[in-house]
Amino acid sequence: MTDQSSAEIIQTFGIELRHLRSFIVVAEEGNIGRAATRLNISQPPLTRQIHQLEEELGVQLLIRTPHGVDLTAAGELFMEEARTICSLVRQASERTQRAGEGKLGRLDIAIFGSGILRDIPKLLLNFRKHYPDVHIALHTMRKSQQIEALRQRRINAGFNRLLPSLPDIATELITTEQLLLAINDSHPLAQADTIPLMAIADIPLILFPTGVLPNFREKTLKVCKDSGFTPKIAQEVGDAVTAIALVASGFGVAIVPESSSVLTLPHVVYKPLDNPPPGAEVDLTCIYRANDPSPVLKAFLEECRRYRDQILPA
Amino acid sequence: MTDQSSAEIIQTFGIELRHLRSFIVVAEEGNIGRAATRLNISQPPLTRQIHQLEEELGVQLLIRTPHGVDLTAAGELFMEEARTICSLVRQASERTQRAGEGKLGRLDIAIFGSGILRDIPKLLLNFRKHYPDVHIALHTMRKSQQIEALRQRRINAGFNRLLPSLPDIATELITTEQLLLAINDSHPLAQADTIPLMAIADIPLILFPTGVLPNFREKTLKVCKDSGFTPKIAQEVGDAVTAIALVASGFGVAIVPESSSVLTLPHVVYKPLDNPPPGAEVDLTCIYRANDPSPVLKAFLEECRRYRDQILPA
DNA sequence: GGCGCTTGATACCCTGAAAGTATCAGGTAT
DNA sequence: ATACCTGATACTTTCAGGGTATCAAGCGCC
């Protein structure tokens, strides 16, 4: 297949862009001498170039008149085609340069449940503002799927929390969030400004997500253990949104990342932990192939860093 | 304006089609050495060409791996663009060649009243069959308009009868037609198979067309004079169709070219002249600029000759 | 782990094609 | 008739692209 396709392409031996550029100028000037001046070459080589072109095409392009040259019908057609081609080359060059700077291209990005609630949309919005010509496709994937998809090159980056360290996957920290307690407003504890973790020891706890370790479920259990108790597990669910929905229905409480609090559901209030133990926080990170040379990805990671530096002081 | 437009085009210095063709093959092979073999050059110059291209664009197009080369995102984009450009060059080349052979292009052709009745449509149909990609635009013009339009290059060819000889306008004979008498079937003469011209000396004659000399009106009068009489003029009209319509209404008789007889109107019959005097015939000719180099026109004129040679024996 | 094979990159030379110089030939206009 | 355009041609020169030889680096196979 390759042989055939390139055989077709290589048909046009001999003809070079130089010929097209020269011909365009000659056609514009209607005079070979003046055209040569504009091309910064002398007249004879230009005459020869045009002859070569006519020879190569097997068609007369110019009619020599006493005061210059006129285009034949074929010449007129070829001039249009040549203009198109030259401007296409220019465009190709520019587009490739922009692609090289990461300003043009496509990013396939995997997101997961609770990450989408606040930081990722903001980040993507920022990026789109700086790189409007980069097309972003979002895919919802759980952590293990993200890693597999990265390795298979189906995606360029993914967002997740609590990542295992892997040799071929690099990470970029987006933000570190405090943990909040999502609690039903009918519960007496919901009146307090902050809640000591120990206070929920006897309240049923909704855990999430299910899936491979390490995950946020594990994190939640560890935080409780560090506070000196083992929680009563009310229910295990797949994602933060479902967990908070259960909180709204009075199933129990849930420990969620700070950013989840943008999700308002009736009867759900979010309370900071009183005296949070060390480790009562969770990272949101961007993962990508460690050796991915894509300039678009590079630009995206820079945007990630800019976002992080921007919100960390605040 | 020319300076600006070409300045834009000439932006892409350095880059030549050679670079694009080479890059495509390299991208296809994923291996510079093999690509060089396929391009029938050795490996070092190909390496250099790719470097030149990357230099020129200011973008890395290839990632060198131990087993060959991979495309960067920019490289992948540029490869698509390069393919497009190369195939466009090929197409341009082919189209120009076809234009040079007269197989592609546009013909603006002027026609006039009675010529359109038989020969011109047949001729155009033949031409279209051989040259399907030539677009033909028809314009209805009287003789003087045709000549003016030819000189102003608004048309490529015209059809007419009885043309004055002009230095810059060449002619190509299409057909020579006998003259027929168009007569109302209520007239006693309409019963005869042929009619001697003298017989209409007393019947009102409808003359056409009005306009510059020489014209068919003049021809008609001359034929009558050669037969030894001066006709009674019933009416002068602009074209053959109107004249025949008047015959249908009983205004009188008309002398018309043979081809007009394809036009059937109620009560109109066409009768050959009995013993037609020499000169009782009229040419249909194609006129064009004597120095017009257009290959499309050339092809059209050849079609005209073919048509003439085809109908002359019959 | 060392050796051989692959890959692309580099240094140098050489050929050939394209550009330059000088001149010619044809057509117009004065 | 001549002076001045035009593009075409002959010859020279230059330099860019291609060739040969070789190198450096990475992978895989014993």
pLDDT in tens, A36-74: 988 888 899 999 899 889 988 888 899 888 888 989 888
Find the mean pLDDT for residues A124-141.
Answer: 88
Are B96 and A87 within 8 A, CB to CB?
Answer: no
Q: Minimal CA–CA distance to B252: which of B237, B273, B274?
A: B237
Q: Indicate if CB(B47) is under 7 A from strand D.
A: no
Greater confidence (A190 vs A14) lies with A190
Close Cβ partners of A1 (under 8 Å, ≥ 6 residues apart): none
Model pLDDT for residues A3-34, shown as the tens digit of each residue: 333 334 335 568 899 899 999 999 988 899 98
Confidence label for B253 from pLDDT (cuts 50, 70 and 90): very high
pLDDT band for B23, please (50, 70, 90 cuts): very high
pLDDT for B181-238, tens place per residue?
A: 999 999 998 898 989 888 888 899 999 987 777 788 888 988 998 888 988 888 888 8
Q: Locate A313 and state its tokens.
A: 């002081």
Choose from A4-8, A118-122, A150-154 the range with maximum mean pLDDT.
A118-122
Alpha helices, H only, chain A: 2-9, 17-29, 32-38, 43-57, 73-100, 119-130, 143-151, 216-226, 240-248, 295-311
pLDDT reading at A212 higher than 80:
no
Nearest to B100 among A11, A74, A293 (CB): A74
The C-alpha of A272 sits at a distance from chain B's nearest C-alpha, in angstroms, of 45
Mean pLDDT of chain A: 86
pLDDT at B12: 56
Nearest residue, CB atoms, B90 vs list A12, A28, A104:
A12
pLDDT surpasses 50 at A154:
yes
Considering only CB atoms, B10 lies closest to which of A2, A21, A88, namely A21
pLDDT at residue number B7: 39
- Residue A268: its pLDDT value, please? 93
CB contact under 8 A, A90 and B9: yes
Cβ pair B257, B113 in contact under 8 A: no
Q: What is the pLDDT of residue A314?
A: 55
Spatial contact of A86 and A21, defined as CB atoms under 8 Å apart: yes
Q: Is the CB of A43 under 7 A from strand D?
A: yes
Q: Beta carbon of A18 within 7 Å of strand D?
A: no
List, for residues A279-311, the tens digit of each pLDDT value: 888 889 999 988 787 888 989 999 999 999 988
Q: Which two tokens stand for residue A101?
A: 């700077």
Q: Is the CB of B51 under 7 A from strand C?
A: yes
Nearest-Cα distance to chain A for B244, in Å, is: 41
Strand C bases contacted by the protein (CB, 7 Å): 6-12, 18-22, 26-28
pLDDT digits (tens, 9 = 90+) for B48-100: 899 888 988 888 899 888 888 888 888 888 988 888 888 888 888 888 988 88
| Cβ distance of B57 and A96 shorter than 8 Å | yes
Cα–Cα distance, A180 to A269 (Å, whole number): 10
Tokens of B136: 């033909």
Which residues of chain B neighbour A74 with C-beta distances below 8 Å?
96-97, 99-100, 295
Set of chain A residues whose Cβ sits within 8 Å of the Cβ of B92: 78, 81-82, 84-85
Which is nearest to A57 in space by CA: A37, A86, A81, A89?
A81
* Model confidence band, residue B301 (pLDDT cutoffs 50, 70, 90): very high
B31 touches strand C (CB under 7 A): yes
**Interface with chain A: mutation pick from B63, B88, B93, B95, highest number of A CBs within 10 Å:** B93
Chain B: closest CA distance from residue A59 (Å): 5
Cis peptide before A209 (omega within 30 of 0): yes
Residues B314 and A68: their CA atoms lie apart, in Å, by: 48
* Contact, B222 CB vs strand C, < 7 Å: no
Nearest CB neighbour to B90, from listed A11, A73, A84: A11
A156-189 per-position pLDDT tens digit = 999 998 888 888 889 999 999 899 999 999 999 8
Distance CA B13, CA B1 (A): 20
Share of chain B above pLDDT 70, in %: 95
The single residue listed with the structure tokens 């663009």 is: B81
Q: Which of B314, B313, B276 is nearest to B179 (CA)?
A: B276
What's phi and psi for B66, nearest 5 deg? -60, -30
Contact predicate A33/A67, CB 8 Å: no
Q: Tell me what pLDDT residue B159 has.
A: 93
B125-162 residue pLDDT tens: 899 999 988 888 888 888 888 988 888 788 899 999 88
DSSP string, A265-295: -TTEEEEEEESPPTT-EEEEEEEEETT---H
- Nearest chain A CA: its distance from B214 CA (Å): 33
